[in-house]
């Protein structure tokens, strides 16, 4: 019994407090720097929109990153188990296993995966698992200017993320798909969360997959 | 321009389309293979002796297409040399929940069975060809049906995530398979039956014209499914509506409305049922060609169009 | 009770957390959580990397950073959590310092021009040859007694300006033009005139009301990273036990919807250059309704309250509404809120200081803080706290020769050079230059009428010899005769003492993460070497190496000396007095650093030169002759770029690489412009072509163009060209637009008092092409 | 993720020796932070049978008398012991600030609502446990050298002489010995 309690399951999650986000993109660049993300690809970035009519206009931000879902479709659909889920909930891609079929990318409802054009494997945000294992926070969380990003163990009632989650209304992206995403947003703007708002869907430029 | 909400996206990361033309082509080729195999089996198992030659054509085409199809898959993979990762059938190494895994199993089993089937059909061993026909039918249907599953399990994409997708794929496979059979049969009739008697050639001709009716029926079934699909897209979620918009009057309107529906379905339908055109090889072959192009456009719109609605 | 160490460990091994009381009592709120900052772990080996504490210089905020070095290279730049200002956070620019260091287009060797100037043909030379050429020229000048024909100019590089000035004075030229950049100086002059410090530190962390005039701290502020995190904190937007604090209101006056105004409580689109009128009207409301701080005005201002109220009477909110377009009712309401909320503070940067009437405007804004008694109080408008560094003896005397460039007669109060006028003044023949040396200075791109400046720089009669010291092949370097490769900030040893936001001054050290790449040399080493080679008595002022120089500079700081001086800094990156407590109302000790020792609402010095001694609003000349179809052009800085030094950082340029012209939807509709159309922006000085970005969030009479992109030299990333290189993934560069720069169509117009450029005073017409 | 090997990492984290050490610090911290709970008492008595002869009431009285009642000179704060010769003994002395800075440097906050000073012995011991969990040997050595060793032995000696119960005599002896032995162990390791 003692052992069990000691091994209380950790479930990491990310919380984005958009009241504190300033849209500075330092998370985007921190991630590029930390994980050697090549040009043209992003693991995390901040979507910035402007909404309203002059003079009642506001800017809204939405940092996007892998949701490290509890029931990820990418994991379900990966034919070779290259995508796997760590016990602490982080969804990982095994670089030696990945065959680059890109089916996980097509499956991901958040479009946060990409093929690394240099290494030709699929990569994505994994909450800097190498840093987390060393007891550090993910690079984006560390550098966030407004401390809008909170990362931690939601199974630990004393963690900051648990406390903030307990006292604030949060939303998630596309929870209706049953993926159980683990990136929570406080005060996210509905229009920023809507991928089809504010763009001409017929004129979007798409990138080559790699 | 809608007045209620004024939203301008000032910054977003680039969108991407992971599955491209090669995948569409792969789906197309498996469709052709499955379609021709099913027709061939119907001909072989059927009681009418005159259908037998068609059986032979189908039996050759089915494995042929299926050899070409995985080439597309391999060249689409970012790590083609790791294809063997898919074949280490050990639990923990491959994921039996993934439709691609079904695909790998099917893509191994089906060409083998289709080749053996073709061998027996060509050597005239009816008993064994029937056995392999029966083995091959579920495989052929699955090999194309699974491609529908691949898409249907992409939950985030409104165009794909529907239970209709496998059925739609199988029916459209039939359509394209029949069309290809007709074309080959016409070529055979016109150029390779010079040594046959006039009656024999006429019998063959009637057979081909009869296939045209089959084609018409399959097209109707296909259109019916498409109609259902579009109707649901138009009336369900916002993403679905955006997808319908793309197909009906947006970016893919030409491919979908023009090529797939009008040239690929309506005109061939007219050609195979209108008495004057239904009776000539010329019009029938035109109809078949149009159908094949139409189905190709369909694969393209489904695969690429389905991913053209941004997800972030 | 008998337990041994072994026994205790045994208990530890088997006990559960229920027994361990240390946990139950929950002392460490965060103890079991992951830790931010200061560390970096290798992705491949899982080992911690070696951190080198240093100080950033990708903008002037000078945050604390750590360079993580492995395999002889810099892997990553991360934030330093112990830095009192930046507190473990780092903006996009700071992290992209790696790009700056490993820029594939960096100038790595001394280069000498071959063929005509500006043709782009260069020959690699040795440092020896470079030194000999430079020394020979300087010696010749000196021998001819024309030391003042040597002009040294740099963009305002706070860090190195002292040694650059020392070099010039030791050589004998007064032309050490190292004090300004063309933006932002007006504000400093206004502040000097008003309260004797050259800028303010709004204590936003503790304030309850933030009134912003033309500033965008969320994207660009001279102390951005430190500043913005405190604004967010003051807004107290997280409901958790540890953050029970009243929410500070954020009010922004800005013609453009920025990241700041877009997230503020109120955004008031204002006509550019009219902030002074609004601030005056507010002061008027506060004074005339008796909401002012009697004590502060009475004791610490040099103008009596009743007289001030009388003077301000004519600046009514209605008057301000007519000028600025901000409703009088809003002005009145905000004025009352501002006066009623204590503490409160104003923030004013670019939008205030980049106009011709900036000095007046800035004084109006400062006045608001004075009348509400928010000067140097906790949560108010505070004096900067930093350490002054000493100059080692012997100190070279300031050359007595009068120089028009260093002290232009047209700007008597500007006390230093007016940088954007330097090259035009040479052209006008007001000064003769035989040797022009620039350091990290790119007027051809970053100055108004840039193309004109380029032409002058190209003229060999005007500037016979031009040496550029820089790490990038800038537009100006392309027009030079010799380029000397400079070390970037990640390879230099320097001292910093940026103003402290926690009000306890500190010293931080910038130290090299790696040895300078190629043949680059740090500017201090270069100048010391040059001084010794030139000789003639000059070398005695440079009787040190860089390290020795820095040691000299901090000897007067006792606490630091006790802690270990430079070696302490090398180990820790920064030092501050850990026992010090923040103190406020520091002026109570010695008064303000002004002639009257008071907060000068009335400036004698301004009166002396015929300017209005009281805060006032002066309309901008160009605005008076505005035609129906003309619009104001304003420029701004992107959140991921500096004005002109980051375009070749690929991570930054990937996010922003295009300067579209932002235009109000209604204005665009009237001109038949749709989003994405190519348009031509035409001013008196010229025209540029760019894409239109039709948005709601901008004043209808204003168009805005960012000022970080559109380089025509500088490197291939800045010019959106993909290429193979061994250091980076540059072959994947995917964007094709490099943007435009608005600088060439902005005329050189200066504030007559401050001398700073009126960047935002250009009238333009815009048409679809 | 590059080069990540899940299994290896897990093995690495299972360093039981360190867990035990961290726990030990926490237990010691607990002895000085509050009176032992009944649970703890029973645990010590039965589970590891160290046969405490005192009653729990006696221990509680001893705790309060020594550590809570002011004026006994046994308040467990570092700044009262570890100070410069010319410095007056006071709470919130220089040592308090130093140790607070130490915590800040390692990203640890003290929950201010508890009202406890950062240089309370239990906070320091608990922090040491935390450092062990982070496996930061240099920090441990520094913290031992700069803080714990500077005052805890002296403090423990005083407790030992003042304590009325066997329990606190034992605890103080154990704490002192443990800290000294820890330093011996760490010194060898860190160099």
- pLDDT at position D51, please? 65
* Cα(B40)–Cα(B54) distance, integer angstroms: 6
pLDDT tens digits, one per residue of C468-524? 999 999 999 999 999 999 999 999 999 999 999 989 999 999 999 999 999 999 999
Partner residue opposite A130 with nearest CB, options C33, C41, C92: C41
Say if residue A2's pLDDT is above 50.
no
In terms of CA atoms, which chain C residue is nearest residue A38? C729
- For chain A, the first-to-last Cα distance in angstroms comes to 50
- pLDDT at position C328, please? 95
D130 neighbors D143 (Cβ within 8 angstroms):
no
In terms of CA atoms, which chain D residue is nearest residue A116? D1
Residues of D in contact with A123 (CB under 8 A): 1
Domains of chain A in sequence order = 2-70+127-190 (3.30.70.20)
- pLDDT at position D2, please? 37
C125 neighbors C111 (Cβ within 8 angstroms):
yes
Q: List the domain boundaries for chain C.
A: 111-181+389-499+514-576, 200-382, 621-768
Pick the CATH number of C621-768 from 1.10.1740.10, 1.20.58.100, 3.40.50.2020, 2.40.40.20: 2.40.40.20
CB neighbours of C749 closer than 8 A, spacing ≥ 6?
C356, C448, C622, C757, C758, C761
* Cα(B67)–Cα(B69) distance, integer angstroms: 6
Helix, strand, or coil (residue B16): strand
Chain A: closest CA distance from residue B75 (Å): 10
Distances (CA, A) of D37 to B264, B292, C655, D50, D114: 82, 82, 58, 16, 19
Q: What is the ipTM of this complex?
A: 0.80
Question: Does any CB of chain C come closer than 8 Å to the CB of residue B11?
Answer: yes
In what order do the strands lie in the sheet containing A170-171? A149-153, A12-17, A183-186, A170-171
CB neighbours of C588 closer than 8 A, spacing ≥ 6?
none
* Cα(B271)–Cα(B258) distance, integer angstroms: 17
* Cα(D83)–Cα(D64) distance, integer angstroms: 25
CB neighbours of C104 closer than 8 A, spacing ≥ 6?
C715, C716, C717, C723, C725, C726, C727, C728, C730
CB neighbours of C705 closer than 8 A, spacing ≥ 6?
C633, C634, C635, C636, C659, C660, C661, C662, C681, C688, C690, C740, C742
Element (H, E) at B285: helix B281-300
In terms of CA atoms, which chain C residue is nearest residue D47? C11
Q: List the domain boundaries for chain D.
A: 16-190
* Cα(A21)–Cα(A27) distance, integer angstroms: 11
CB contact under 8 A, B9 and A198: yes
* Cα(A47)–Cα(A53) distance, integer angstroms: 19
Residues of D in contact with C29 (CB under 8 A): 109-111
CB neighbours of C638 closer than 8 A, spacing ≥ 6?
C219, C220, C656, C706, C708
C104 neighbors C719 (Cβ within 8 angstroms):
no
CB contact under 8 A, C229 and A146: yes
Question: Does any CB of chain C come closer than 8 Å to the CB of residue A92?
Answer: no
Q: Among B304, B290, B294, which Cα is nearest to B252's?
A: B304
- Which residue, among A10, A38, A85, A86, would best test binding to D if mutated, counting the most D CBs under 10 Å from its CB? A86
* Cα(A177)–Cα(B259) distance, integer angstroms: 33
Q: List the domain boundaries for chain B.
A: 21-306
CB neighbours of D17 closer than 8 A, spacing ≥ 6?
C9
Inter-chain CB pairs, A–B, below 8 Å: 189
* Across A102-116, B59-73, B74-88, D27-41, least confident range: D27-41
Question: Does any CB of chain A come closer than 8 Å to the CB of residue B20?
Answer: yes
Which two structure tokens, joined as six digits, stand for C351? Answer: 């939008």
Partner residue opposite D24 with nearest CB, options C8, C18, C43: C8
* Cα(A140)–Cα(C79) distance, integer angstroms: 11
D109 neighbors C30 (Cβ within 8 angstroms):
yes
Architecture per CATH, C200-382: 3-Layer(aba) Sandwich (3.40)
Question: Does any CB of chain C come closer than 8 Å to the CB of residue D14?
Answer: no
Which two structure tokens, joined as six digits, stand for C546? Answer: 């860089």
* Dihedral over Cα of C227, C231, C232, C233: its sign: positive
Helix, strand, or coil (residue D123): helix
Longest dimension (CA), chain B: 74
CB contact under 8 A, B98 and A42: no
pLDDT along chain B (312 residues), means of 10: 70 90 91 86 75 80 86 88 83 83 87 89 84 88 87 89 90 90 86 80 83 90 93 89 90 91 92 86 91 93 90 88
In terms of CA atoms, which chain C residue is nearest residue D31? C21
Prior bond to C394 cis, omega within 30? Answer: yes
Residues of A in contact with C267 (CB under 8 A): 55, 57-58
Mean per-residue pLDDT, D105-132? 76
Under DSSP, the state recorded for C392 is P
Question: Does any CB of chain A come closer than 8 Å to the CB of residue B98?
Answer: yes
* Cα(D38)–Cα(D56) distance, integer angstroms: 8
Confidence of residue D188 (pLDDT cuts 50, 70, 90): low
| Placement of tokens 């333009």 in the chain | C764
CB contact under 8 A, B6 and C696: yes
Question: Does any CB of chain C come closer than 8 Å to the CB of residue A97?
Answer: no
pLDDT tens digits, one per residue of C78-113? 999 889 999 889 999 999 999 999 999 999 999 999
In chain B, which among 203-232 make CB contacts under 8 A with chain A?
Answer: none
pLDDT tens digits, one per residue of C8-26? 776 666 554 444 443 333 4
- pLDDT at position B154, please? 87
CB contact under 8 A, A133 and D134: no
In terms of CA atoms, which chain D residue is nearest residue A129? D1
Determine phi and psi for C356, rounding to 5 degrees.
-75, -20
* Cα(C375)–Cα(C203) distance, integer angstroms: 10
Higher pLDDT, D35 or A128: A128
- pLDDT at position A4, please? 46
Partner residue opposite D30 with nearest CB, options C3, C22, C26: C22
Pick the CATH number of C111-181+389-499+514-576 from 3.30.200.20, 1.10.10.60, 3.40.50.10490, 3.40.50.740: 3.40.50.740
Question: Does any CB of chain B come closer than 8 Å to the CB of residue A22?
Answer: no
Q: How many CB atoms lie within 10 A of CB C117?
A: 16
CB contact under 8 A, C31 and D122: no
Residues of A in contact with D6 (CB under 8 A): 84, 86, 92
Chain C: closest CA distance from residue A107 (Å): 25
| Helix axes B99-123 and B52-76, enclosed angle (nearest 10) | 150
Record: fold of B21-306:
Formate dehydrogenase/DMSO reductase fold (1.20.1630)
Low-confidence stretches of chain C (pLDDT beneath 70)? 1-5, 10-38, 156, 182-183, 237-246, 727-728
CB neighbours of B159 closer than 8 A, spacing ≥ 6?
B233, B240, B243, B247, B302, B305, B306, B309
Q: Give partners of D (≥3 CB pairs < 8 A).
A: A, C
Q: Among C238, C132, C101, C127, which Cα is nearest to C517's?
A: C101
- Which residue, among D111, D127, D177, would best test binding to C if mutated, counting the most C CBs under 10 Å from its CB? D111
Question: Concatenated DSSP letters for B44-64?
Answer: HHSS-GGGHHHHHHHHHHHHH
Partner residue opposite A129 with nearest CB, options D1, D133, D134: D1
Q: Helix/strand/coil (H, E, C) string of C142-209? A: HHCCCHHHEEEEECCCCCCHHHHHHHHHHHCCCCEECCCCCCCHHHHHHHHHHHCCCCCEECHHHCCE
In chain B, which among 44-83 make CB contacts under 8 A with chain C?
Answer: none
- pLDDT at position C393, please? 87
Chain C residues at the B interface, defined by Cβ less than 8 Å, are 655, 665, 675, 694-696, 734
In chain B, which among 261-290 make CB contacts under 8 A with chain A?
Answer: none
Record: fold of D16-190:
TorD-like (1.10.3480)
- pLDDT at position B209, please? 85
* Across B250-259, C220-229, D102-111, D126-135, least confident range: D102-111
* Across A187-196, C297-306, D17-26, least confident range: D17-26
Chain A: closest CA distance from residue B44 (Å): 36
Question: Does any CB of chain C come closer than 8 Å to the CB of residue A160?
Answer: yes
In chain A, which among 109-128 make CB contacts under 8 A with chain C?
Answer: 117-118
Residues of B in contact with A108 (CB under 8 A): 156, 311
A129 neighbors D4 (Cβ within 8 angstroms):
yes
Chain A: closest CA distance from residue B286 (Å): 32
| Helix axes B164-191 and B21-45, enclosed angle (nearest 10) | 70
Q: Give partners of A (≥3 CB pairs < 8 A).
A: B, C, D
In terms of CA atoms, which chain B residue is nearest residue A106? B18
Q: Give partners of C (≥3 CB pairs < 8 A).
A: A, B, D
Q: Do chains A and C touch (3 or more CB pairs under 8 A)?
A: yes
Say if residue A5's pLDDT is above 80.
no
Q: Among B163, B305, B160, which Cα is nearest to B245's?
A: B305
A131 neighbors A137 (Cβ within 8 angstroms):
yes
Mean per-residue pLDDT, A5-18? 78
In chain D, which among 91-120 make CB contacts under 8 A with chain C?
Answer: 94, 97-98, 101, 104-114, 116
Say if residue D50's pLDDT is above 90.
no
């Amino acid at each position: 019994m003692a052992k069990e309690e000691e091994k209380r399951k950790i479930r990491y999650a990310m919380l984005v407090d958009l009241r504190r986000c300033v849209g500075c993109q330092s998370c985007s660049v921190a991630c590029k720097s930390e994980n050697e993300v090549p040009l043209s690809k992003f693991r995390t970035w901040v979507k910035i929109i402007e909404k309203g009519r002059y003079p009642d206009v506001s800017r809204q931000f939405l940092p996007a990153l892998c949701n490290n879902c509890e029931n990820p479709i990418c994991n379900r659909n990966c034919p070779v188990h290259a995508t796997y889920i760590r016990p602490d909930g982080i969804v990982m891609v095994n670089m030696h296993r990945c065959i680059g079929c890109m089916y996980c990318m097509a499956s991901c409802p958040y479009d946060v995966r990409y093929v690394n054009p240099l290494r030709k494997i699929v990569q994505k945000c994994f909450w800097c698992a190498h840093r987390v294992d060393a007891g550090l926070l993910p690079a984006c969380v560390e550098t966030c200017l407004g401390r809008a990003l909170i990362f931690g163990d939601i199974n630990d009632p004393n963690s900051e993320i648990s406390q903030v989650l307990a006292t604030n209304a949060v939303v998630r992206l596309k929870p209706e798909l049953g993926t159980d995403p683990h990136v929570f947003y406080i005060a996210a703007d509905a229009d920023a969360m809507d991928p089809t708002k504010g763009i001409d869907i017929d004129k979007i430029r798409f990138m080559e997959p790699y | 321009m809608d007045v209620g909400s004024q939203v301008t996206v000032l910054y977003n990361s680039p969108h991407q389309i992971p599955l491209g033309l090669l995948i569409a082509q792969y789906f197309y080729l498996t469709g052709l293979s499955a379609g021709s195999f099913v027709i061939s089996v119907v001909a072989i198992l059927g009681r009418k002796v005159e259908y037998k030659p068609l059986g032979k054509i189908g039996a050759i085409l089915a494995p042929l297409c299926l050899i070409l199809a995985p080439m597309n898959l391999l060249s689409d993979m970012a790590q083609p040399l790791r294809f063997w990762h898919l074949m280490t059938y050990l639990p923990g190494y491959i994921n039996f929940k993934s439709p691609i895994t079904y695909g790998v199993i099917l893509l191994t089993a089906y060409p083998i069975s289709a080749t053996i089937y073709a061998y027996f059909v060509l050597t005239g061993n009816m008993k064994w060809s029937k056995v392999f026909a029966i083995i091959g039918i579920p495989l052929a249907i699955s090999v194309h049906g699974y491609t529908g599953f691949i898409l249907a399990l992409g939950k985030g994409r409104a165009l794909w995530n529907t239970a209709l997708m496998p059925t739609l794929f199988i029916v459209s496979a039939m359509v394209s398979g029949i069309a290809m059979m007709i074309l080959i049969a016409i070529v055979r009739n016109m150029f390779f039956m010079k040594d046959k008697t006039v009656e024999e050639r006429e019998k063959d001709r009637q057979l081909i014209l009869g296939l045209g009716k089959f084609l018409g029926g399959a097209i109707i079934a296909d259109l019916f499914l498409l109609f259902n699909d579009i109707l649901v897209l138009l009336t369900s979620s916002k993403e679905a509506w955006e997808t319908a918009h793309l197909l009906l009057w947006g970016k893919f309107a030409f491919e979908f409305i023009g090529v797939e529906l009008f040239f690929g379905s309506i005109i061939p339908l007219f050609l195979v049922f209108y008495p004057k055109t239904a009776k000539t090889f010329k019009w029938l072959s035109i109809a078949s060609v149009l159908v094949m192009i139409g189905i190709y456009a369909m694969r393209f719109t489904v695969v690429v169009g389905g991913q053209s609605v941004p997800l972030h | 009770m008998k337990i041994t160490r072994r026994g205790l460990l045994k208990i530890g091994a088997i006990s559960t957390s229920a027994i361990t009381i240390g946990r139950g009592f929950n002392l460490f709120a965060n103890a079991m959580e992951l830790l931010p900052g200061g560390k970096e772990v290798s992705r491949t080996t899982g080992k911690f990397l070696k951190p080198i504490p240093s100080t950033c210089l990708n903008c002037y905020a000078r945050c604390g950073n750590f360079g993580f070095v492995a395999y002889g290279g810099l892997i990553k730049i991360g934030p330093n959590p112990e830095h009192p200002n930046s507190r473990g956070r780092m903006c996009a620019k700071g992290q992209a310092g790696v790009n700056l260091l490993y820029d594939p287009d960096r100038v790595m060797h001394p280069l000498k021009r071959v063929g005509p100037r500006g043709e782009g043909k260069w020959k690699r030379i040795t440092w020896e040859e470079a030194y000999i050429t430079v020394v020979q020229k300087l010696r010749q000048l000196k021998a001819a007694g024309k030391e003042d024909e040597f002009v040294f100019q740099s963009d305002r590089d706070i860090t190195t300006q002292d040694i650059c000035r020392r070099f010039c004075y030791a050589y004998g030229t007064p032309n050490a033009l190292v004090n300004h950049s063309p933006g932002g100086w007006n504000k400093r002059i206004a502040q000097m005139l008003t309260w004797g410090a050259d800028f303010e530190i709004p204590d936003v962390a503790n304030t309850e009301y933030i009134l912003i005039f033309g500033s965008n701290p969320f994207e660009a502020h001279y102390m951005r990273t430190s500043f913005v995190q405190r604004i967010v904190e003051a807004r107290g937007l997280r409901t958790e036990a540890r953050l029970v604090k009243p929410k500070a209101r954020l009010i922004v006056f800005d013609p453009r919807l920025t990241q700041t105004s877009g997230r503020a409580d109120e955004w008031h689109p204002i006509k550019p250059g009219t902030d002074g009128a609004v601030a005056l009207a507010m002061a008027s409301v506060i004074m005339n309704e008796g909401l002012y701080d009697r004590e502060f005005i009475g004791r610490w201002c040099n103008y009596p309250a009743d007289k001030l109220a009388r003077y301000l009477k004519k600046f009514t909110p209605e008057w301000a509404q007519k000028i600025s377009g901000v409703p009088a009712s809003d002005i009145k309401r905000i004025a009352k809120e501002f006066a009623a909320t204590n503490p409160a503070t104003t923030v004013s940067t670019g939008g205030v200081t980049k106009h011709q009437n900036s000095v007046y405007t800035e004084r109006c804004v400062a006045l608001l803080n004075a009348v509400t008694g928010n000067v140097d109080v906790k949560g108010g408008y505070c004096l900067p706290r930093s350490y002054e560094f000493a100059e080692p003896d012997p100190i070279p005397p300031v050359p007595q020769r009068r120089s028009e460039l260093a002290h232009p007669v047209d700007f008597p109060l500007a006390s230093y050079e007016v940088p954007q006028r330097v090259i035009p003044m040479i052209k006008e023949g007001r000064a003769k230059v035989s040797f022009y040396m620039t350091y990290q200075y790119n007027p051809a791109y970053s100055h108004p009428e840039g193309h004109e400046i380029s032409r002058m720089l190209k003229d060999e009669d005007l500037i016979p010899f031009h040496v550029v010291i820089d790490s990038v092949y800038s537009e100006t370097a392309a027009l030079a005769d010799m380029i000397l490769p400079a070390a970037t900030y990640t390879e230099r040893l320097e001292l910093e003492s940026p103003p402290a936001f926690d009000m306890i001054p500190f010293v931080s050290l910038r130290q090299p993460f790696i040895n300078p790449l190629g043949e680059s040399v740090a500017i201090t080493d270069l100048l010391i070497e040059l001084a010794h080679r030139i000789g003639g008595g000059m070398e005695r002022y440079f009787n040190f190496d860089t390290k020795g120089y820095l040691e000299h500079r901090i000897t007067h700081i006792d606490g630091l000396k006790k802690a270990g001086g430079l070696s302490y800094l090398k180990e820790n990156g920064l030092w501050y007095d850990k026992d010090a407590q923040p103190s406020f109302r520091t002026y109570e000790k010695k008064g303000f650093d002004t002639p009257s020792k008071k907060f000068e609402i009335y400036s004698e010095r301004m009166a002396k030169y015929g300017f209005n001694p009281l805060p006032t609003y002066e309309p901008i000349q160009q605005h008076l002759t505005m035609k129906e179809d003309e619009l104001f052009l304003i420029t701004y800085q992107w959140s991921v770029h500096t004005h002109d030094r980051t375009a070749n950082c690929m991570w930054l340029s990937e996010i922003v690489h295009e300067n579209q012209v932002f235009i109000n939807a209604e204005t665009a509709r009237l001109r038949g412009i749709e989003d994405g159309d190519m348009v031509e922006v035409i001013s008196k000085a010229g025209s540029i072509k760019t894409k239109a970005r039709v948005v709601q969030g901008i004043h209808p009479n204003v168009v805005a163009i960012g000022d970080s992109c559109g380089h025509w030299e500088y490197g291939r990333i800045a010019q959106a060209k993909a290429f193979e290189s061994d250091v980076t993934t540059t072959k994947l560069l995917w964007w094709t637009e490099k943007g435009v720069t608005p600088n060439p169509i902005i005329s050189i117009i200066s504030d007559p008092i401050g001398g700073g450029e009126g960047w935002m005073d250009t009238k333009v017409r815009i048409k679809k092409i | 993720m590059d080069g990540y090997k899940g299994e290896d990492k897990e093995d690495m984290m299972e360093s039981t020796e360190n867990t035990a050490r961290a726990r030990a610090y926490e237990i010691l911290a607990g002895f000085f932070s509050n009176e032992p709970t009944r649970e703890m008492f029973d645990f010590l008595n039965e589970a590891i049978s160290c046969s405490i002869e005192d009653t729990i009431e006696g221990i509680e009285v001893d705790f309060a008398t020594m550590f809570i009642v002011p004026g006994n000179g046994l308040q467990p704060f570092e700044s009262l012991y570890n100070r410069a010769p010319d410095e007056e003994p006071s709470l919130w002395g220089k040592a308090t600030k130093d140790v607070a800075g130490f915590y800040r440097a390692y990203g640890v906050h003290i929950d201010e609502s508890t009202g406890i000073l950062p240089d309370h012995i239990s906070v320091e011991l608990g922090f040491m446990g935390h450092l062990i969990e982070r496996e930061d040997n240099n920090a441990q050595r520094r913290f031992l050298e700069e803080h714990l060793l500077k005052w805890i032995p002296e403090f423990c000696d005083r407790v030992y002489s003042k304590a009325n119960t066997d329990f606190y005599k034992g605890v103080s002896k154990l704490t002192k010995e443990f800290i000294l032995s820890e330093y011996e162990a760490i010194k060898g390791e860190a160099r």
